[in-house]
Amino acid sequence: MIKIDREDMLELTRRMTASRSSMTRIAGSYMDAEGYSDGTFNTNFFKLSAAERTKNLAIAKAIPFSETNHNLKGYQFSKEALKPGGIWQLLMAMKNCGLKNDALMETFYELVGEYYESDHDYAVFVFHDRYDVPVKAADHERLWESEEMFEYIICAICPLTGSYEPGKPECGFLFPAFMNRSGDEHFINVFQADEKQPHMELLKLLELS
C-alpha cells in the first residue's frame, strides 16, 4: 500500500458540488444479490436534473472524501493486472472513452457481479471527470494556468435501499490514483466503508499487489 495525502483528496472533493463540478458522465448497473444485472444506464452528467446531480455527486464524493489511509487506501497494480486483457487495460479503456462505450461498461459490470459478495441487491455507479489541475505559485497561491488535465473515474458500489435507490457506498475506487496533484496510472485508491470488514473480493477483482 501507498500513503495517500489528504490534501490531494480534498482538492478533488472541493469541486464536487453542483456549481463547481466538471463531471462529464455517469453510468451504472443495478445488480441483484447473485450478481446479475437488472438494468443499466449511461448518460451525460449535465443532462441530469439539479437534484439528481447533487444526489449523485454525494455518492461520488464519498469515495475520495473518506478517511484517508483508513477507509481509503492506495494500492499498486500487480504485474498480472497490467498484462494485455487485464483489469488495468479495461479501466484505462473506460477512462479514455469517457464511459461512452457500453460494451466496455457491460464487461466491467459482469466482472463486478462475478467477484462481488453481497446478500442484498446493489448498484454499481461509475463517474467520469476531467479536472484542470491549476498551477500553484511558490507561495502556494493558485494561478489561472492549467498544469495538467487529470482525467479519472470513480466507482461506487452501493446497497439498494428501495426501488433502484442507492444508499451510501459500501466500497469503491478512484482511478488513476491522484498523487502529488497528479495522476499515476500504476496506482489506484480503494474505498471500504467498513475498514474492519472490507470487501477483499474487490482487491481480487482489481488484481492489486
**pLDDT (tens digit, 9 = 90+) per residue, 134-183?**
876 554 555 555 568 999 999 999 999 888 899 999 999 999 999 988 89
C-alpha grid cell for residue 133? 489541475
- pLDDT tens readout for residues 81-120: 999 999 999 999 999 999 999 999 999 999 999 999 999 9
DSSP state of 118: -
- pLDDT tens readout for residues 6-54: 999 999 999 999 889 999 999 999 999 999 999 999 999 999 999 999 9
Helix (H) or strand (E) holding 89: helix 87-96
Mean pLDDT (whole number) for 59-70: 97
Virtual torsion, Cα 9, 14, 18, 20, nearest 10 deg: -110
Q: Which amino acid is at 24?
A: T
Q: Which amino acid is at 99?
A: L
pTM: 0.93
Q: Give percent above pLDDT 90 in the chain.
A: 84
Mean pLDDT (whole number) for 122-128: 98
Q: What is the pLDDT of residue 144?
A: 52
C-alpha to C-alpha distance for 119 and 102, rounded to whole angstroms: 27
DSSP state of 164: T
DSSP state of 78: P
Q: What is the pLDDT of residue 142?
A: 52
Q: Enumerate the domain spans of the chain.
A: 6-206
